Amino acid sequence: MSDTVPMPPIKRYTGVMDWLTTVDHKKIGLMYFWFVVFSALIGGAMAGAIRVQLAMPGATVEAMQAAALNGTTALSLFSDANGMFGDRHLYNQMVTMHASMMIFFVLIPGFIGFANYIVPLMIGARDMAFPKLNAFGFWLLVPAAVLQLGSFFVVGGAAASGWTAYPPLSLKAASAGPGQDMWILGVHLVGVSSILAAINFIVTIVSLRAPGMIWSKLPLFAWATFFVAIIQLIATPVLAAAVTMVLMDRNFGTTFTIASQGGDPVLYQHIFWFYSHPAVYIMILPGFGAISHVIAAFSHKKIFGYLGMVIATGIISFIGFLVWAHHMFTVGMPTWLQAFFMYGSLVIAVPTGIKVFSWLATMWGGTIRFTVAMKFAAGFISMFVFGGFGGLLLALTPIDMSMHDSYFVVGHFHMAMVGGSVMLLFAMTYYWWPKMTGHMLCEKQGNWIFWLMLVGVLMAFMTMHLTGALGMARRVPVYFKDFLVLNHITTVGYALTFISSVWFVIDLIRSYGRPKVTENDPWHVNDVQQSFEWATTCPPPVYNFEQVPPIPVADQMGKH
Amino acid sequence: MLRPLIALLMLCAAVSTAAESPVVPAAEQVDRYVALFNQDLLALDDKRRVVTPITGAFDAPASDIARDVAQATWFSLLVFLPFLVLPQVLLIWIIWKYRKRQDGRAPATFTGNHRLEIVWTAIPVVALIIVGIPMWDLLYKMEAPPADQRRDMVVEVRGKTYAWDYKYQRLGGDVPTTRGDQFEVGQDVVGMQEPIVLVKDRRVIMNLTANDVNHAWWVPAFGVKKDTIKGRYTNVWFTPEKLGFFKGQCAELCGQGHGIMLISALVVDEADFAVWTETQRHRADTARVWSALSGTTVDAKALEDAVGAYLLKGSSPWRLFSLRYWIASNAASLARKPGELKGEALKQAMLARRVQVEALINRLTGPTTATN
C-alpha cells in the first residue's frame, strides 16, 4: 500500500461567489428559476407595450386615415407620425423580442430549471451527471440574453423580423442593423445551452437512477424530461443551422435563402419549423409530466394510466417531428404534402386527449384538496383544452388558410402557452417551492393570483380567437375599427394577467421571510405515493440524500 | 381548303365579340362610376366614418371557397365540440364531487382501466376520421388547379413594401384571350390601397409573387390566403359571389408598414367591370390633363394642349368617357386630401374645371360630337 496523497484543499466560496461558482443542481435550478422570472417580467412588459399600442385611439386604420385627411395625427404609441415612443419599427422589435424572451428565456429554461432541481431528486441521484456542464449551460443564457436585449441599444435597434426571422425580411436589405445578427448569435448560445442540458438530462436519467429505480418506476416528470431532452438534442442543432444560413447570407455573401441567386427563402422556413414545432413540445411536455404529480398528490391518489401517459408522451414527441409544415400551409406546397401535414397534426390530438382524460381519471374518486397548486393544475387542464381545440381547427388546412397569421393563431398559442405552460409553471412553483427553498407560498394570496390569472387569460386569449376569425391579421400595429372593442377586452385581460404575475413574483420574494418548513413532505404526497423528492429535507442537503431512500416495491402501474 | 374556313370562323368570332362589347356609359354617369370605383370614397365617407366594415370568411362568406370553408368550419366545430365541453364539465364536476370533506371517505386506489383507455383513444380517432374525410375534398378543391380555366380571369398579384400591384393577364369571360389583356393597377395611395376589381360569379385565378420580402394576400371574406414570395409563384382561385367592397390586411410580417399594407377588393357585375377595364386602359394618358387641372389655378393654354394631345391619340367614345371619369375621380380623391383648396370651395372649383374640359372636348372633337 503506497502512501496516500493528501487531497488538495478545495476552495469553498460563500455568498455571491458561491452562487457564481456553484455546480450544485439545486442552486443551478434556482438560478434558472430567478433568471426566468426576470426574463418573464421583461417579456411581459414588452407584451404590455404591444397591448398599449393596440389600445390607443390611433391604432385603427380608419383613425389613421382620417387623421391623414384632416392633416392631424392620430394618438398612438408607435407610429410614423407622432409615436410618443418611436415608430412602427420599434413595434416590430417589441413583437419580435416579446416572443424571443418568452420562448428562449422563459418557457424553455423554465422547465429546464425545474427539471434541474427536481429530476435528480426524483430518481435518487446526488446531482446531474455532468455538474460543470450544467452550470455552463445555465451561464450561457446570460450572454445570450445580453446579446438579445442589448440589441435594443445598437444602431437600428433589435431584430424586427419576428421571432421566426423569415428571410428576406431578416436579410441585410430589409434589416440592415446589427440587431438581427445579435439576435442570431443569442439564439446560437441558447441553442448550445439547450443541447448541453439535453445531454445532461439524458445521461442523468439513463445512468444515475438509484439502484432499483427501474424504468417502470420512473416518475412521469422524469419521463417527460427524458423525452424532451431527446427532442432538444435532435431538433436544436437544426435551429442553429437555420439561423446560421441567415447569418451567412447577411454577412458572408452566401445565398442559401436569396431567390435571385439560386437560394430559396422557403427552405429556411422548412428548416426553422423542423425545430420550432418540436420546440412547442419542449415548452409544454415537461409540465405535462409534472402536473401528473401535482394532480395525484392533491387528489390523494396514484397516477391513472401511467403506461398510457408515458406512451402518449413518447408518441407526441415523435409525431411532433412530422408536422412542422402546418405552420406554413399558406406558403404554397404540393397538395398531397399539405394533406400529410394536416392528418399528421390531427393525429397529435389523440395522445394529447389520452393525457387529458388520464388527468381527469386521476382526480376521479380522490379526496381533492383544492390548494393553489391544484387550482393552477385544474386551470391548466381547462385552458389547455381550449388551446388544443383551437389547434384542431388550425390543423385543418382549408380552415387554416383563413386562420393562418391571424389573431386566431395568436389566441391559440397563447392559450396553450400562457393558459397551458405558464399555468403549469405556476402550479409547479406552488407545489415544489417548499421543497426548493424551504418556504411556503401564501395560499390566500395564491387564490387571488390564480383567479386573476384565469380571468385575464380567458379575457385576453379567448377574445383573440374571435378577433382572428373575424379577420384581424397578426403582428399589426393598426387594425380595422371593427376590431376595436375586442382589442380593448384583450388589453384588459393582459393587464389582469400581468398584475397577477407581478403579485406572484412579490409573493415569491416575500416567502423567503416566512418560517422554514420543518417537514420533509408538507403536502403529504408520500401518504399515497413514494416520491423521492419528498423523502429528504426542505430544501435538500447538498448531497440530496443521507441514504438511498427505499425504492417502492410496486411500479407505477401497481405491479409488484 | 381549311384555311378559308378558319378565317371565316375567326371573322364570326370577331363579329360576335363586337356585338357583345359593352355600351359606353353616358357622360352623366361619370359620378356614379366614381362612387363605385374610387377607393378613397370607399374607405371613409365625407364625415370620416367607415363606409364598409370588414367581413370575414365565417360570418359573411363572399366566395365559393369561403362558403365551403365556413361550412367545413361549422361542421368540424360541431364534431369537435364534445371534446371541448366534456373535459370542462367533467373537470368542474369532479372537483366538486370529490372535494375533500370531513366525512372520512378514503380516496379510490385504482391506477388504470384498459377498457376505458381504449375507449378514449378510439372515440377521438373516429371524430378525426369524420372530420378528416370531407377535408380531403375541400383541400383538393382549394389547392389543385381547376380543370377548365377558359372563362377564368387571371391576375398576377405582386406584393411590394407596402402595397399591391395587380396585373390583369387575362380578363376571362367572353373576352377572347388574344386581345392581350395585360394592364396593371396599383400604386401607393394615402387611404385604401387601390382595389383589385373582380367580377361576380367569374372565377379568378391569382398568381402571387413578391418584389422584395414575403407578404401574404388575404381578404378574409374570400376565404383564401397565400404568401407572396420573391422568386416563386403561388396560386389561389375563388369565385366571388357577392357584390361589394371587401377589405383585408397583409398577413405576413413585412416590415414597418406591415400594418398599413391594406388590401381592398371590389366585386362588380360584368357591365361595370367592362367600364372599369376601359377606364384603366386610358388612365395613363389622362395624367397630363389632370396635372394641368389640379393646381390652384388653371393655365388655359396648358389645359388645351393637354386635352388636345389626349384626343389626338384617339377620340373614341371610351376615351372620352375615360377622360371624364379620371378627372372626376381624381377630383373626388383630391377633395379628401388636405390641401390649399378644401371642402365646398374645392368642389365648386372642380365642377367649373370639369365644365371647362367638357367645352374643350366639344370644341376639339368637332362637329360630330357637337351634333350629338
Task: Report the CATH number at residue A136.
Answer: 1.20.210.10
Give the closest of A87, A328, A378 to B95, CB-based. A378
Domain boundary residue, one of B234, B250, B270: B270
Window A:325-364, CB contacts with B under 8 Å = 328, 330-332, 335, 338-339, 342-343, 346-347, 349-350, 353-354, 356-358, 360-361, 363-364
pLDDT band at B16 (very low <50, low <70, confident <90, very high): very low
A304 touches chain B (CB under 8 A): yes
Q: Is residue A5 part of a domain?
A: no
CB contact under 8 A, A330 and B225: yes
- The span from the CA of A130 to the CA of A11, in Å, is 20
Mean pLDDT of B272-284: 89
Contacts of B68 in chain A (CB under 8 A): 398
Between A320 and A87, name the one with better pLDDT. A320
Residue B293: pLDDT over 90: no
On the 0-12 / 13-18 / 19+ scale of CB atoms within 10 A, A230 is middle
Please judge whether A481 and B255 are an interchain contact, meaning their C-beta atoms are less than 8 angstroms apart.
Answer: no
Closest approach of B161 to chain A, Cα-based (Å) = 10
pLDDT band at B340 (very low <50, low <70, confident <90, very high): low
Tens digit of each residue's pLDDT (9 = 90 or more) over A462-484: 999 999 999 999 999 999 999 99
Could A389 and B84 be called an inter-chain contact, meaning their C-beta atoms sit closer than 8 Å? yes
Asked if the model's pLDDT at residue A86 lies above 90, the reply is no
Between A304 and B364, name the one with better pLDDT. A304
Q: Residue B221: which CATH number?
A: 2.60.40.420
Q: Is A299 on the interface with B (CB under 8 A)?
A: yes
Residue B241 lies inside a defined structural domain of this protein? yes
Scanning the structure block, which residue is given the C-alpha cell 381527469? Answer: A360
**Residue A274: what pLDDT?**
95
Question: Which of B103, B115, B256 is most worth mutating to test chain A (most A CB atoms within 10 A of its CB)?
Answer: B256
Same domain, B249 and B188: yes
Average pLDDT, chain A: 93
Amino acid letter for position A450:
F
Min distance B145 CA to chain A CA atoms (Å): 10
Average pLDDT for A147-154: 94
- Does the pLDDT at position B52 exceed 70? yes
Higher pLDDT, B51 or A474: A474
Give a yes or no: residue B260 inside a domain: yes
Please choose, from the candidates A458, A65, A406, A414, the residue with its C-alpha nearest in 3D space to the C-alpha of residue B56.
A406
User: Domain range for residue A165?
Assistant: 23-535
Residues of chain A positioned with their CB less than 8 A from the CB of B258: 88, 92, 475-477
Within 8 A of A338 by CB-CB distance, chain B residues are 139, 143
Residue A548 lies in a domain: no
Phi, psi of A333 (to 5 degrees): -120, 165
Q: Which of A298, A399, A450 to mutate to test the interface with B (most CBs of B within 10 A)?
A: A399
Out of A62, A64, A476, name the one closest to residue B249 (CB). A476
The reply to whether B232 and B330 lie within a common domain is no
If pLDDT is split at 50, 70 and 90, which confidence band does B2 have? Answer: low
- Per-residue 3-state assignment (H helix, E strand, C coil) for chain B: CHHHHHHHHHHHHHHHHHHHCCCCCCHHHHHHHHHHHCHHHHHECCCCCECCCCCCCCCCCCEHHHHHHHHHHHHHHHHHHHHHHHHHHHHHHHHHHCECCCCCCCCCCCCCCHHHHHHHHHHHHHHHHHHHHHHHHHHHHHHCCCCCCCCCEEEEEEEECCEEEEEEEECCCCCCHHHCCCEEECCCCCCCCCCEEEECCCCEEEEEEECCCCEEEEEHHHCEEEEECCCCCEEEEECECCCEEEEEECCCCCCCCHHHCEEEEEEECHHHHHHHHHHHHCCHHHHHHHHHHCCCCCCHHHHHHHHHHHHHCCCCHHHHHHHHHHHHHHHHHHHHCCCCCCHHHHHHHHHHHHHHHHHHHHHHHCHHHHHC
With cut-offs at 50, 70 and 90, classify the pLDDT of residue B294: confident
Does B76 reside within a domain?
Answer: yes
User: Which pLDDT value is given to residue B103?
Assistant: 83
What mean pLDDT do residues B112-121 have? 92
Residue B209 belongs to domain spanning: 153-270
From CA B189, how far away is CA B7, in angstroms rounded? Answer: 46
What is the predicted pLDDT for the residue at A256?
Answer: 94
Least confidently predicted of A201-210, A431-440, B103-112, B125-134: B103-112
Evaluate if residue A180 carries a pLDDT over 80: yes
**A471–B139: do the CB atoms touch at under 8 Å?**
no
Rounded to the nearest angstrom, the minimum Cα separation between B19 and chain A is 41
Chain A CB contacts of B139 under 8 Å are 335, 338-339, 342, 397-398
Task: Tell me if B324 is assigned to some domain.
Answer: yes
Q: What are phi and psi of A544, to 5 degrees?
A: 70, -60
Chain A residue numbers touching B42 (CB-CB < 8 A): none
The whole-angstrom distance between B182's CA and the closest CA on chain A is 25
- Asked if B139's CB is within 8 angstroms of A338's CB, the reply is yes
- pLDDT at B169 (0 to 100): 85
The pLDDT, as a whole number, for residue B7 is 57
- Residues of chain A with Cβ-Cβ distance to B142 below 8 Å are 397-398, 401
- Sign for the pseudo-dihedral over CA of A493, A494, A495, A497: positive
Q: Is the residue at B127 inside a domain?
A: yes
**Rounded-to-integer distance, Cα A155 and Cα A365, Å:** 61
State the alpha helices, DSSP H only, in A123-264: 131-150, 179-207, 220-251
First to last CA, chain B: 47
pLDDT of residue B372: 40
Distance from the Cα of A518 to chain B's closest Cα (Å) equals 24
| pLDDT for position B21 | 57
Residue B345 in this model has a pLDDT that exceeds 80: no
Question: B285: closest CA among B333, B317, B327?
Answer: B327
Would residue A93 count as lying in a domain? yes
Q: Cell digits for A304?
A: 391513472
Is position B104 within any domain? no
Task: Output the DSSP codes for A223-270.
Answer: HHHHHHHHHHHHHHHHHHHHHHHHHHHHHS---TT-GGGT--HHHHHH
Q: B58 in a domain, yes or no?
A: no
Confidence class for position A219, pLDDT limits 50, 70, 90? very high
- pLDDT attached to residue B338: 67
Burial class (CB in 10 A: 0-12, 13-18, 19+), A152: middle
Give the C-alpha separation, B89 to A405, whole Å: 31
The residue of chain A with its CA nearest to that of B47 is A66
Contact A46, A115 (CB under 8 A): no
Nearest CA in chain B to A375: B95
pLDDT tens for A335-368 read 999 999 999 999 999 999 999 999 999 999 999 9
- Minimal CA separation from B6 to chain A, in Å: 40
Residue of A nearest to B119 (CA): A354
Higher pLDDT, B176 or A79: A79
**Residue B55 belongs to some domain of the structure:** no
Facing residue for A475 by CB, picked from B253, B262, B338: B253
Is the per-residue pLDDT at A60 higher than 50?
Answer: yes
Where a domain ends, among B239, B270, B301? Answer: B270
Share of chain A above pLDDT 90, in %: 83
Q: Which residues of B touch A474 (CB under 8 A)?
A: 251, 253
Distances (CA, A) of B259 to A79, A405, B253: 10, 13, 8
Stated pTM of the model: 0.92
pLDDT above 70 coverage of chain B, percent? 85
Q: For residue A370, give the nearest of B50, B99, B128 by CB distance.
A: B99
pLDDT at A305 exceeding the cut of 70: yes
A544 and A127 in contact (C-beta within 8 Å)? yes
The confidence score (pLDDT) of residue B19 equals: 42
Return mean pLDDT, chain B.
84
| Residue B115 touches partner A, C-beta closer than 8 Å | no
The chain A residue lying nearest B88, using CA atoms, is A382
Q: Which residue has the higher pLDDT, B79 or B334?
A: B79
Q: Closest approach of chain B CAs to the CA of A552, in angstroms?
A: 15
Least confident of A10-14, A135-139, B32-36, B120-124: A10-14
Here the ipTM equals: 0.91
| A504 to chain B, closest Cα gap in Å | 24
Q: What crossing angle do the helices spanning B317-336 and B270-281 adopt, rounded to 10°?
A: 90
Residues B70 and B173 placed together within one structural domain of the fold: no
Rounded to a whole number of angstroms, the CA Rg of chain B reads 29
Domain count, chain A: 1
Residue in chain B lying closest to A467 (CA): B56
Nearest CA in chain B to A89: B256
Residues B169 and B132 in one domain: no
**Confidence at residue A61, expressed as pLDDT on a 0 to 100 scale:** 87
User: Rounded to a whole number, what is the distance in Å from the CA of A219 to chain B's nearest CA?
Assistant: 14
Q: What is the pLDDT of residue B179?
A: 47
**Worst-scoring range by mean pLDDT, A464-473, A543-552, B115-124, B206-215?**
A543-552
Query: A501 falls in which pLDDT band (50, 70, 90)?
Result: very high
Using the Cβ of B138 and the Cβ atoms of chain A, whether some distance falls under 8 Å is answered with yes
Number of Cβ within a 10 Å radius of residue B356: 16
* pLDDT tens, residue by residue, A226-240: 999 999 999 999 999
Clarify whether residues B287 and B261 are in a common domain: no
Q: How far apart are CA A159 and CA A182, in angstroms?
A: 8
Is A2 within the bounds of a domain? no
Residue A1 has pLDDT above 60, yes or no: no
pLDDT at B18: 44
Residues on chain B touching A308 (C-beta within 8 angstroms): 112, 117
Whether residues B160 and B266 fall in one domain: yes
Query: Is A92 in the B-facing interface, judged by CB distances under 8 Å?
Result: yes
Model confidence pLDDT, tens digit, residues A513-529: 999 998 999 999 988 88
Q: Considering only CA atoms, which of A269, A202, A287, A281 is closest in space to residue A235?
A: A281
Amino acid type, A280: V
- pLDDT recorded at residue B196: 92
Using a CB–CB cutoff of 8 Å, tell me whether B124 touches chain A: yes
What per-residue string of b and e applies to A344-378 under the rule 16 or more CB within 10 Å gives b? bbbbbbbbbbbbbbbbbbbbbbbbbeebbbbbbbb
- Pick the range with the lowest mean pLDDT from A23-32, A167-176, A448-457, B344-353: B344-353
Instruction: Select from A174, A382, A528 the Cβ nearest to the Cβ of B212.
Output: A174
For B366, the grid coordinates are 368637332
For chain B, how many structural domains are there in total?
A: 3
| A48 pLDDT above the threshold of 70 | yes
Contact list, A472 vs chain B (CB under 8 Å): 249
Same domain membership, residue B295 and residue B321 = yes
Distances (CA, A) of A176 to A169, A172, A181: 10, 5, 9
pLDDT band at A320 (very low <50, low <70, confident <90, very high): very high
Given B270, B303, B324, the domain boundary residue is: B270
Taking the Cβ of residue A306 and every Cβ of chain B, the question of whether any pair is shorter than 8 Å is answered with yes
Distance CA A291, CA A299 (A): 12
**Position B174 pLDDT exceeds 70:** no
User: Confidence class of residue B22 from pLDDT cuts 50, 70 and 90?
Assistant: low
What are the chain A neighbours of B56 within 8 Å (beta carbons)?
402, 469-471
Binning pLDDT at 50, 70 and 90, where does residue A452 land? very high
pLDDT at B185: 65
